[in-house]
Amino acid sequence: MGFHRDRRVKQMQTALRQLLSDFLSAIVFLMVYGLSDDVYLATGAAVGVALVQFASLRLRRKPIDAMQWLALGLVLVLGAATLITHDSRFIMVKPTIVHGAIGVVMLRRGWMIRYLPPIARDNLPESVMVGTGYAWAALMFVLGVLNLIIAIGFSFRAWAWFITFGAVGAKVAAFLIQYAAFRIIIRRRQRSRAALAAARGPGPAWPS
């Protein structure tokens, strides 16, 4: 029991670390900009954080996937646009593009199955795993649209609140809801199988 609990905790910690990594440059940007009101300093800090993240992966020889390349490219391009135009909204729309790209990837049927532990793959109906994957894609698109609306039409303070609490909080809440729902379904499936096996009783004894 302790082993399974430790594994679940590690899975949640990994997911939360990935969320922080994806939004780290945006969070650093809004923190520095909010404290200094200097768009150049904030943009430089965001670009610097993105480059440090990328260099860290290279030094540790970690695989760099397409989304990480995209995130780095967006920070560099939108950061340059922000510095040239002195308009912070260029880099504020970065989460919209990232969310949209992730949402498109998540439209691939059954993408989630390969990331689930064996106990989930063995006990969850395929329709549940596929449907949950599409639900995550929908969440990405909704967050991307909301970020674009807030970045263009609202104040920096509103965008900062959305990125810090809204976008990250929505993902954490979705992950926890998914975890709880999957756990309930798995337990019910396991109990059903155990009850069915008990009802059948032991198999016939072979003559010696």
Q: pLDDT by residue (tens digit) across 93-136?
A: 888 988 898 888 889 898 888 878 888 888 999 999 999 999 99
Half-sphere exposure of 31 (CA within 13 A, CB side): 10
Q: Report H helices in 37-167.
A: 39-59, 66-85, 89-92, 94-106, 118-123, 126-153, 156-161
Whether 206 maps to a domain, the answer reads no
Pick the range with the lowest mean pLDDT from 9-18, 49-58, 112-121.
Answer: 9-18
Whether 83 maps to a domain, the answer reads yes
pTM for the whole structure: 0.74
Whether 7 maps to a domain, the answer reads yes
Determine contact, residues 26/95, Cβ cutoff 8 Å.
yes
User: Given a cut of 80, is residue 148 above it in pLDDT?
Assistant: yes
Coil, helix or strand for 153? helix
Using alpha carbons, select from 55, 58, 52, 50 the residue that is nearest to residue 74. Answer: 50
Average of per-residue pLDDT values in the chain: 81
User: Given a cut of 70, is residue 180 above it in pLDDT?
Assistant: yes
Whether 208 maps to a domain, the answer reads no
Amino acid at 87: D
Distance CA 130, CA 33 (A): 40
pLDDT value of position 198: 78
Whether 204 maps to a domain, the answer reads no
pLDDT value of position 88: 80
pLDDT band at 1 (very low <50, low <70, confident <90, very high): very low
Q: What is the number of structural domains in the chain? A: 1
pLDDT band at 2 (very low <50, low <70, confident <90, very high): very low
Whether 22 maps to a domain, the answer reads yes
Q: Domain of 91? A: 2-199
Whether 116 maps to a domain, the answer reads yes
Whether 92 maps to a domain, the answer reads yes
